[in-house]
Amino acid sequence: MNELVRFITMQDGPNRTVAIGVGALGVACGMVGCFALLRRRALLGDAVAHASLPGICLAFMLIGERNLPLLLVGALVMGVVGASVIGLLHRATRVKDDALIAIVIGSFFGLGVVLLSVIQRGPSGNQAGIQGFIYGKAASMVRADAITISVVACVLVAMLFALFKELRLVTFDSDFARGLGRPVRALDGLILAIICVCTVIGLPAVGLLMVVALLIVPAATARCWTESLGTMVVLAGIIGGVTAIVGAGLSAVLPAAAGAGGSTWPTGPMIVLSAGSVFVVSALIAPRRGVIAGLVRHHRAKRQILARVRAERVGAGAGAGPGGAA
């Protein structure tokens, strides 16, 4: 417990790096995720994440070494390609969006795994830690990574705040925005680009399988508690940041605490599970949108209606009674 507190309060050097990195990531992903969630782009983040694997592999094959920023540029390029393929197929075919996303996730990830085996057989011999992008490896985060993530996260958050009014307009009613003369396609593209960047900077820490949860879970959690988009974005940022740091802290501290025989607890899954449990609790106990509140409301309404029915029946009986007696 003490160790977890020490991690969260960032008292040790290496842990501080990881905590700052995943914290910044969690804040940015949580805030951006609100727009992804409300614009019904939740699964698009997943498609971008999966599509990034062949990009990472190709970038590695081209430059021949593990240079994180360049690998992430490769990831971003292929992620955008994957998202564009979905957009193109949406316009060119009659296949529905969910099917298109499934197609892109499967085939791009398949291509990535094939390229991964090519790299393994190639001259460099090992996979140079590329497999770390699949499940994530936050513990291997170095100072420069944390700084890069934090800077990118700050830029994204600043963009969200500056353009909040326009993003809300386009996300709520794109036809009306177009009627006002707003370049809706450009704004939509900007939202997509922000989602892509967020996804890609999350890859090294939580991995491409789980990074979509970092986007969506804090946003969905925040939505339980508020009816205002501004509050929701801030709340999702806080939830994303805190659950990321707590999750990473748990993964760093747990082996010693639980005596798990030297094997470490994976960081990405711990972060996602932390966020997931906060969501489950929120979905249950949130005051207006929660499951329990809904059940109570439903029960109360039923009782009120029955009481009114009974009152009417009694009233009718009382009205008829004296008449019958006379």
Partner 1 sequence: MNAPALELHDLTVAYEHRPVLWDIDLTLPAGELVAIVGPNGAGKSTLIKAALKLVKSLSGDVRFFGQTLREARHRIGYVPQRESVDWDFPVSARDVVLMGRYGRLSWLQRPRRADHAAADAALEAVGMTAMASRQISQLSGGQQQRVFLARALAQEAELYLMDEPFAGVDASTERAIVDVLRRLRDNGRTVIAVHHDLQSVAEYFDRVVLLNTRLIAAGPVAEVFTPQNLHKTYAGRLTQLDAAGEAMRTAVQPSGASGPAPGVSILGANAAIEKGGA
Give contact residues for partner 1 (rule: CB under 8 A): 38, 162-163, 165-166, 168-169, 171-173, 175-182, 223, 226-229, 231-232
Report in angstroms how near the CB of residue 100 gets to partner 1 at its nearest: 19
Q: Which helix (H) or strand (E) holds 243?
A: helix 229-258
Give 299's contacts (C-beta < 8 A, 6+ positions apart): none
Q: How many residues does the chain have?
A: 326
Report in angstroms how near the CB of residue 241 gets to partner 1 at its nearest: 20
One-letter amino acid at 126 equals N
Of 49 and 157, the one with the shorter C-beta distance to partner 1 is: 157
Report in angstroms how near the CB of residue 127 gets to partner 1 at its nearest: 43
- 3-state SS, residue 41: coil
Of 1 and 186, the one with the shorter C-beta distance to partner 1 is: 186
Of 145 and 188, the one with the shorter C-beta distance to partner 1 is: 188
**Residue 163, token pair as written in the block:** 């353009």
Report in angstroms how near the CB of residue 316 gets to partner 1 at its nearest: 29
Report in angstroms how near the CB of residue 97 gets to partner 1 at its nearest: 16
Sign of CA dihedral 60, 63, 67, 69: negative
Report in angstroms how near the CB of residue 191 gets to partner 1 at its nearest: 14
Of 37 and 83, the one with the shorter C-beta distance to partner 1 is: 37
Of 50 and 223, the one with the shorter C-beta distance to partner 1 is: 223
- Long-range own/partner contacts, residues 141-146 (CB < 8 A, 24 or more apart): 141/17, 141/18, 141/21, 141/22, 141/204, 141/205, 142/17, 143/17, 144/68, 145/17, 145/21, 145/68, 145/204, 146/17, 146/18, 146/20, 146/21, 146/24
- With DSSP H G I counted as helix, E B as strand and the rest as coil, what are the percentages for the chain, rounded to 5? 85, 0, 15
Of 297 and 313, the one with the shorter C-beta distance to partner 1 is: 297
- 3-state SS, residue 208: coil
